[in-house]
């Protein structure tokens, strides 16, 4: 449980620090090439879910829906971490990363009504939707959980 909580706190703090820096340094929609042809830093907001899903929904509805889903997800992740065996460190790491990412994006939704995104990867005219460190932590956390399930699952006795 301590590993999950430590990862959650670290992810949420680093995520919020990077978003505060982006908001302080970049104007809305400003783009700064970091690796031309591949990666930019930019300041965007997303009122929807992943990939802008439900971005056109009424703002109050979207804010309440996504904040509520995040709170439920955090409760479920906390319960899973509490129930997880001590020797399942990769599962605990994954749960903490997913929960930290969910908390980081929840803080944005409560604080500014939208999630702040700033990492923009692209190849020529093809752009991946912009994302942030919280989104990255969720992805890495899910990867840890899948790795633990498929490669480190204990075989049943018998």
Confidence of residue 60 (pLDDT cuts 50, 70, 90): confident
Q: Please tell me which residue in 15, 108, 120, 135 is annotated as part of the active site.
A: 135
Q: Which residues pair with 57 in a beta bridge?
A: none
Catalytic annotation on 15?
A: no
CA 25 to chain centre: 22
pLDDT digits (tens, 9 = 90+) for 30-53: 999 999 999 999 999 988 766 566
CA dist 36 → 22, 39, 122, 125 (Å): 19, 6, 9, 12
pLDDT digits (tens, 9 = 90+) for 95-111: 999 999 999 999 999 99
Say which residues have a Cβ less than 8 Å from residue 55's Cβ, sequence separation at least 6: 46, 47, 48, 62
- The pTM is what? 0.86
Per-residue model confidence (pLDDT) at position 66: 81
Per-residue model confidence (pLDDT) at position 74: 92
Q: Which residues pair with 120 in a beta bridge?
A: 40
Residue 83 above 70 pLDDT?
A: yes
Per-residue model confidence (pLDDT) at position 151: 86
Q: In this structure, what token pair is assigned to residue 49?
A: 């879910």
125: how many CB neighbours lie within 10 A of its CB? 5
Q: In this structure, what token pair is assigned to residue 33?
A: 């090439």
Which DSSP state fits 110? H
Q: Give percent of the chain with pLDDT exceeding 70.
A: 91
Confidence of residue 85 (pLDDT cuts 50, 70, 90): confident
Residue 64 above 90 pLDDT?
A: no
Q: In this structure, what token pair is assigned to residue 96?
A: 């903490």
Residue 158 above 50 pLDDT?
A: no
Catalytic annotation on 120?
A: no
CA dist 24 → 15, 19, 43, 106 (Å): 14, 9, 10, 20
Residue 157 above 60 pLDDT?
A: no
Q: Which helix (H) or strand (E) holds 145?
A: helix 133-151
Q: Please tell me which residue in 87, 117, 120, 157 is annotated as part of the active site.
A: 117
Per-residue model confidence (pLDDT) at position 142: 96
């Amino acid at each position: 449980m301590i590993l999950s909580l430590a990862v959650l706190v670290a992810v949420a703090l680093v995520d919020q620090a990077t978003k505060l820096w982006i908001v302080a340094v970049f104007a809305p929609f400003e783009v700064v090439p970091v690796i031309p042809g591949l990666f930019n830093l930019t300041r965007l907001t997303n009122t929807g879910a992943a990939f802008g899903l439900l971005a056109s929904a009424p703002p109050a509805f979207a804010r309440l829906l996504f904040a509520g889903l995040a709170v439920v997800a955090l409760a479920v992740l906390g319960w899973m971490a509490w129930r997880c065996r001590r020797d399942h460190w990769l599962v605990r790491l994954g749960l903490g990363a997913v929960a930290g990412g969910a908390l980081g994006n929840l803080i944005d939704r409560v604080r500014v009504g939208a999630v702040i995104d700033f990492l923009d990867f692209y190849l020529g005219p093809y752009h991946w939707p912009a994302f942030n460190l919280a989104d990255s932590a969720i992805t890495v956390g899910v990867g840890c959980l899948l790795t633990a399930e498929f490669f480190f699952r204990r075989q049943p006795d018998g």
